[in-house]
Amino acid sequence: MITTLQPIFARHQGQAGSLLPILHDIQHELGYVPEEAVPLVAQELNLSRAEVHGVITYYSHFRRTPPGKHVVQVCCAEACQANGSEALAAHAAKRAQKGDVTIEPVYCLGLCSIGPNIQIDESELHAQVTQKKFDALMDELGDAK
């Protein structure tokens, strides 16, 4: 673990307020923030483990377990909710049980007027996603385990 974290720590050496950037880099590198990273980050930043743990658990963005092969974020903010994102999120969660996909809620993807919206693997945005369209996207992704 420390060999993974050392280059991240080096990038943020001496930077004020580096806890969040370090946690972001760890998640970018590993897909999540493992529990064993907490004491190492705490030691590096001269913080308590509780402080680091508190930040990780406060921000829903940080995963504490490894994600599936693909991560699908379903917008659950107000405008998308008004267009059916709750039903879409439930459908997505059910479908994800069959495959190697992690479904996560997200609160606005910036396409509010054309929801419900999803984002796949932090890059592909899809608007007006129906359950049928969602299934077609998952088929394209090859979401089976």
Nearer of residues 37 and 111 to ligand FES, judged by Cβ: 111
Question: To the nearest whole angstrom, how small is the minimum distance from the Cβ of residue 84 to ligand FES?
Answer: 11
Least Å distance, CB 128 to ligand FES, is 11
CB nearer ligand FES, residue 79 or residue 141: 79
Say if CB 88 and CB 116 are below 8 A apart.
yes
* Contact call for residues 40 and 1 (beta carbons, < 8 A): yes
Indicate the Cα dihedral angle 45, 51, 108, 68, nearest 10°.
Answer: 80
Nearer to ligand FES, 5 or 88 (CB): 88
Smallest CA-to-CA distance from 72 within 116, 105, 26, 25 is with: 105
> Which of 19, 111, 22, 37 minimizes the C-alpha distance to 73?
111
DSSP state of 126: E
In the complex with ligand FES, which residue's Cβ is closer, 37 or 106?
106
Q: Contact residues for ligand FES (CB under 6 A)?
A: 75, 77-80, 108-112, 115, 117
Give me the least distance between CB of 14 and ligand FES, in Å please.
Answer: 37
Q: How far is the CB of 109 from ligand FES (least distance, A)?
A: 4
